[in-house]
């Protein structure tokens, strides 16, 4: 049965999420800063969960209704045929986004919602499903704003940013879905080289390799919310996975180079890349960002330096940002340069004119992806095939 499907995302990512949804052949019904709405069947949510890189949760709408009070909420939720979706002895958890004058604590709305579902299930089957905070099985999402209520199956369960490969997060890692959004915003689709100095835990380089291979990010995960629903079509999903594996490439056209000054970061990034199955495609190295090899042929070079909010302090960082400007000017001609930062004052120290400034959010922090055109100048290129200092 077709219904509305809303895919949520971090603020600022929806233009790239929209692009992904369209390229999977789904219509766009609505878009806002933190999500895109399309439509499809419950089986379509399996495809969306498997292929979407930039979304957080794939929410399948079960019911919309008006509710002014918690009692209205209960009366409407108990009418939903939960026995069609929840196994009698299953486990579910409730998440919510509530903005209603009668509700001071959203946990109360969750409790009402849970009571209605459990009461309905007990009436219909004589058994009571278990409930709790874990999101690794069935997740039901309640959206209640004013008197407008929507109840969704969160078919992702755990958010899609948890791809499963980042066993070693290190300091201030970028969320996987945000990294994918940044890569799509930079226009990298596997053509040219992808250079990522200051790679930290390797998220950008790993996501770039997955994009370049056209490999579905969901292939890395063994668990999704939809797998726990009654009637989950396991063979359909297995088939989807098999087909997507068969169509993904096994080599990249350009080089992916990831470096960091910290040996610990490179060891972690390498392990993460191994878990993601792309370690052989990424050339890792330990060095100062300014020593990162930049081969000829062009492509994108992306840095996510510290910006004073979480890791380093601001003092001293100005020098790094100035150095990035020099690195871009002297070593990255013919490339498109990008800096992802949450500190625009520091970004001014780069000293180059930005071509675009794209808005993103890293959690609550307003960030920008700054784009620089690094034209091929008169300066002679340095060697086109640098050796990367080994991390082994
Ligand atoms: C904000 S973190 C990058 C996080 C990364 N995007 C991720 O997802 O894990 C910044 C990284 O820059 C590295 N770094 C700091 N100064 C550096 C320098 N001078 N040269 C190279 N790397 C440096 C740090 O070791 C750290 O891993």
Q: Could you tell me if 92 and 139 are in contact, meaning their C-beta atoms sit under 8 angstroms apart?
A: yes
Does the beta carbon of 204 lie inside 6 Å of ligand 1?
Answer: yes
% of the chain beyond a pLDDT of 90: 86
pLDDT of 103: 87
From the list 212, 352, 209, the residue with the least C-alpha distance to 281 is 209
- Percentage of the chain beyond pLDDT 70 is 94
**Which of 317, 328, 378, 380 is closest to 351 using CA atoms?**
328
Contacts of 322 (CB under 8 A, 6+ apart): 349, 350, 351
Given a cut of 60, whether residue 382 has pLDDT beyond it is no
Specify the residue with its C-alpha closest to ligand 1, atom 12.
Answer: 198
Q: Choose among 73, 4, 230: nearest CA to 137.
A: 230
| pLDDT at residue 311 greater than cutoff 80 | no
Q: Ligand 1 pocket, 260 CB below 6 A?
A: yes
* Residue 306 CB less than 6 A away from ligand 1: yes
The mean pLDDT of 166-177, rounded to a whole number, is 85
Give the position, in ligand 1's atom list, of the atom nearest the Cα of 312.
15
Instruction: Give the CA-trace dihedral at 148, 152, 156, 157, to 10 degrees.
Output: 90
Atom number of ligand 1 nearest to Cα 306: 1
CA of residue 384 to ligand 1 center, whole Å: 24
Q: What is the pLDDT of residue 377?
A: 64
The pLDDT confidence band at residue 386, using thresholds 50, 70 and 90, is low
Q: How far is the CA of 235 from the centre of ligand 1 (A)?
A: 42
Q: pLDDT per residue over 30-78, tens digit each?
A: 999 999 999 999 999 999 999 999 999 999 999 999 999 999 999 999 9
Q: Is 109 exposed, middle or buried (0-12, 13-18, 19+ CB in 10 A)?
A: buried
Please give the Cα distance from 324 to 327 (Å, whole number): 5
Q: Mention every residue, 6+ apart, whose C-beta is less than 8 A from residue 52.
A: 7, 17, 20, 21, 24, 58, 160, 217, 218
| Interval between CA 172 and ligand 1 midpoint (Å) | 9
* Centre of ligand 1 from the C-alpha of residue 265, in Å: 8
What's the token pair of residue 348?
């001014």
Please report which confidence band the pLDDT of residue 378 belongs to, taking 50, 70 and 90 as the band edges.
Answer: very low
Which of 178, 203, 261, 365, when mutated, tests ligand 1's pocket best, judged by the most ligand atoms within 8 Å of its CB? Answer: 261
Of 165, 177, 186, 200, which is best to mutate to test ligand 1, by the most ligand atoms within 8 angstroms of its C-beta? 200
Take residue 262 and report the two structure tokens written for it. Answer: 């910290």
Q: In whole angstroms, how large is the CA radius of gyration of the chain? A: 23
- The reported pLDDT for the residue numbered 380 is 43
CB neighbour burial string for 234-264, b if at least 16 within 10 angstroms, e if fewer: eeebeebeeebeeeeeeebebbbbbbbeeee
Q: How far is the CA of 325 from the centre of ligand 1 (A)?
A: 16
Contact between 313 and 208 under an 8 Å Cβ cutoff? The reply is no
pLDDT for 390: 53
Summarize pLDDT for 17-33 with one digit per residue, the tens: 999 999 999 999 999 99
Nearest CA to ligand 1 atom 7: 173
Atom of ligand 1 nearest to the CA of 262: 25
Q: pLDDT confidence of 381, banded at 50, 70, 90?
A: very low
pLDDT, mean of residues 360-385: 76
pLDDT at residue number 171: 77
Identify the pLDDT of residue 379. 44
272 lines ligand 1 (CB under 6 A): no
CB 172 less than 6 A from any atom of ligand 1? yes
Rounded to the nearest angstrom, the distance between the alpha carbon of 322 and the centre of ligand 1 is 15
Query: Is the beta carbon of 154 within 6 A of some atom in ligand 1?
Result: no
* Predicted pLDDT at 392: 41
**pLDDT of res. 389:** 57
pLDDT confidence of 309, banded at 50, 70, 90?
low
Q: Which residues, in sequence order, are bridge partners of residue 5?
A: 38, 60
| Cα–Cα dist 59/229, whole Å | 14
Contact 21, 7 (CB under 8 A): yes
Among 352, 388, 392, 389, CA closest to 370: 352
Do the beta carbons of residue 350 and residue 324 sit within 8 Å? yes
Q: Which residue has the higher pLDDT, 252 or 311?
A: 252
Report the SS3 class of residue 389.
coil
Question: What per-residue confidence (pLDDT) applies to 156?
Answer: 98
Mean pLDDT of 274-294: 97
Q: How far is the CA of 38 from the centre of ligand 1 (A)?
A: 37
Tell me if 174 CB under 6 Å of ligand 1.
Answer: yes
Instruction: Using the atom order of ligand 1, give the atom closest to the CA of residue 340.
Output: 6
Over residues 365-391, the mean pLDDT reads 69
Give the mean pLDDT of the chain: 93
Query: Which pLDDT belongs to residue 290?
Result: 98
197-256: pLDDT as tens digits: 999 999 999 999 999 999 999 999 999 999 999 999 999 999 999 999 999 999 999 999
CA 376 to ligand 1 center in whole angstroms: 27
């Amino acid at each position: 049965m077709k219904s509305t499907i809303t895919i949520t995302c971090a603020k600022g990512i929806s233009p790239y999420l929209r692009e992904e949804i369209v390229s999977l052949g789904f219509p766009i019904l609505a878009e806002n800063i933190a999500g895109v709405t399309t439509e499809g069947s419950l089986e379509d949510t399996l495809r969306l969960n498997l292929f979407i890189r930039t979304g957080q949760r794939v929410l399948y709408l079960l019911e919309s209704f008006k509710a002014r009070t918690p009692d209205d909420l209960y009366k409407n939720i108990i009418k939903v045929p939960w026995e069609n979706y929840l196994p009698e002895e299953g486990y579910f958890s409730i998440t919510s986004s509530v903005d209603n004058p009668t509700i001071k604590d959203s946990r109360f709305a969750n409790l009402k919602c849970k009571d209605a579902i459990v009461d309905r299930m007990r009436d219909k089957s004589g058994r009571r499903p278990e409930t709790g905070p874990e999101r690794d099985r069935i997740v039901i999402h309640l959206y209640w704003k004013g008197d407008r209520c929507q109840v969704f199956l969160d078919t992702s369960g755990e958010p899609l940013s948890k791809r499963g490969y980042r066993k070693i997060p290190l300091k201030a890692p970028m969320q996987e879905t945000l990294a994918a959004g940044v890569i799509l915003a930079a226009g990298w689709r596997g053509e040219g080289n992808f250079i990522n100095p200051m790679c930290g835990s390797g998220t950008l380089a790993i996501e770039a390799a997955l994009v370049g291979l056209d490999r579905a990010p969901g292939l890395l995960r063994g668990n999704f919310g939809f797998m726990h629903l009654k009637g989950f079509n396991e063979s359909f999903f297995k088939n989807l996975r098999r087909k997507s594996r068969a169509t993904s490439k096994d080599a990249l056209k350009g080089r992916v180079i990831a470096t960091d000054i910290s040996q610990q970061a490179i060891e972690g990034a390498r392990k993460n890349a191994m878990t993601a199955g792309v370690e052989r495609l990424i050339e890792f190295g330990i060095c100062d960002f300014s020593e990162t090899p930049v081969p000829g042929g062009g492509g994108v070079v992306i840095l996510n330096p510290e910006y004073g909010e979480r890791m380093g302090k601001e003092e001293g960082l100005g020098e790094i940002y100035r150095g990035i400007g020099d690195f871009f000017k002297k070593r990255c001609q013919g490339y498109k340069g990008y800096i992802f930062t949450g500190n625009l004052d520091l970004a001014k120290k780069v000293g180059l004119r930005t071509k675009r400034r794209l808005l993103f959010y890293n959690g609550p922090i307003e960030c920008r992806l700054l784009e620089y055109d690094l034209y091929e100048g008169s300066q002679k290129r340095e060697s086109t095939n640098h050796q990367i200092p080994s991390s082994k």
